[in-house]
C-alpha cells in the first residue's frame, strides 16, 4: 500500500504540497482530481520517484521515499512503479514492439515474447506491433505507452492526465483499458485528472486543493 503523511514540496517560493496526507490500498484505481496548480502532478512525481520529498513521510509498498535523492531511486523506479505520460513519450524511431520492450532492455531484464504479445493483446494492438509511433493514432500511441508501462510488471502505475492529448471517444477507450488492466493484473493505478468523466472510471476519487488532500 501507499502511505503519505504530511508531505511538503516547495519550488523556490512556491509551495506545491503543503502537508498532503493520504492512504491508498494495493490494487486500487484512484483518480486524483484538482484544478491546475493544485499539486496533483507534484504528488504523482513524488510517487514516481522522479522528484524528492522536502518534508513528511512517503512509503510505497514498503519503500521509504522521503530523504532520498532522485538518483538513488532508480532501483525503486525499475521494480515498483511505471509512468504513463500525457503525450505518450514514445521514442519515435522505435517500433511499437521496441518501445514496449525498451524498459526491460534498459533494466537488463529478459524479454518474454509471450508476455509482450499478451500485453499487445490486452491493449488491442496485436496487428500494429511493428508500426512506428508516427503511423499510429493518438489513442494507439497511448495504448502502446500503457503496454510499455506494464512490461516490467510494476506494482504501481502512475498516469498524469493520460487522456489530456486525446479526443473524448479515444480517451474513454484508454480509460476503459486502464480499468481492465487494473482488474486483470491487479495493478494499483494512480491517475491525475481534472476531468469528471475520467474520474468516473476510477474506484475512488481523491480531491486535492492548494497542496492538500480533501478527505
Q: Site residues (CB under 8 A) for another protein? A: 41-42, 45, 48, 50-51, 70-71, 74, 77-78, 82-83, 85-87, 89, 91-94, 98, 102-103, 105-108, 111, 134, 148, 152
Length of the chain: 215
Residue 116 neighbours by CB under 8 Å, 6+ apart: 97, 100, 101, 147, 151
For residue 16, give the H/E element and its range.
Answer: strand 14-24
User: Shortest approach of another protein to residue 123 CB, angstroms?
Assistant: 17
CB nearer to another protein: give 80 or 201: 80
CB nearer to another protein: give 62 or 108: 108
User: Shortest approach of another protein to residue 133 CB, angstroms?
Assistant: 8
Question: How would you class 47 by CB atoms within 10 Å of its CB: exposed for 0-12, middle for 13-18, buried for 19 or more?
Answer: buried
User: Shortest approach of another protein to residue 105 CB, angstroms?
Assistant: 3
CB nearer to another protein: give 78 or 172: 78
Count of C-beta atoms within a 10 Å radius of residue 12: 5
Rounded-to-integer distance, Cα 100 and Cα 98, Å:
5
User: Shortest approach of another protein to residue 4 CB, angstroms?
Assistant: 17
User: Shortest approach of another protein to residue 168 CB, angstroms?
Assistant: 22
- Asked if residue 174 lies in contact with residue 146, where contact means CB atoms within 8 angstroms, the answer is yes
- Asked if residue 27 lies in contact with residue 157, where contact means CB atoms within 8 angstroms, the answer is no
Q: Which three cell numbers stand for residue 140?
A: 494507439
CB nearer to another protein: give 77 or 143: 77
User: Shortest approach of another protein to residue 136 CB, angstroms?
Assistant: 13
CB nearer to another protein: give 51 or 122: 51
CB nearer to another protein: give 72 or 200: 72
- Asked if residue 62 lies in contact with residue 1, where contact means CB atoms within 8 angstroms, the answer is no
Amino acid at each position: 500500500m501507499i502511505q503519505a503523511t504530511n508531505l511538503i514540496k516547495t519550488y523556490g517560493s512556491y509551495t506545491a504540497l503543503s502537508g498532503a496526507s493520504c492512504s491508498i490500498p494495493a490494487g486500487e484505481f484512484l483518480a486524483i482530481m484538482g484544478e491546475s496548480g493544485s499539486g496533483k502532478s507534484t504528488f504523482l512525481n513524488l510517487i514516481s520517484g522522479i522528484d524528492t520529498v522536502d518534508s513528511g513521510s512517503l512509503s510505497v509498498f514498503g519503500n521509504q521515499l522521503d530523504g532520498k535523492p532522485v538518483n538513488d531511486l532508480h532501483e525503486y523506479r525499475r521494480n515498483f512503479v511505471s509512468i504513463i505520460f500525457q503525450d505518450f513519450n514514445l521514442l519515435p524511431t522505435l517500433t511499437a514492439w521496441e518501445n514496449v520492450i525498451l524498459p526491460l532492455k534498459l533494466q537488463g531484464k529478459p524479454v518474454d515474447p509471450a508476455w509482450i504479445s499478451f500485453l499487445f493483446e490486452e491493449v488491442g494492438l496485436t496487428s500494429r506491433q511493428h508500426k512506428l509511433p508516427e503511423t499510429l493514432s493518438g489513442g494507439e500511441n497511448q495504448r502502446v505507452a500503457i503496454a510499455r508501462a506494464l512490461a516490467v510488471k510494476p506494482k504501481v502505475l502512475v498516469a498524469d492526465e493520460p487522456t489530456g492529448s486525446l479526443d473524448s471517444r479515444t480517451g474513454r477507450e484508454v480509460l476503459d483499458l486502464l480499468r481492465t488492466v487494473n482488474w486483470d493484473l491487479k495493478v494499483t493505478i494512480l491517475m491525475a485528472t481534472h476531468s469528471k468523466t475520467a474520474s468516473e472510471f476510477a474506484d475512488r476519487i481523491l480531491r486535492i486543493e492548494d497542496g492538500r488532500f480533501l478527505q
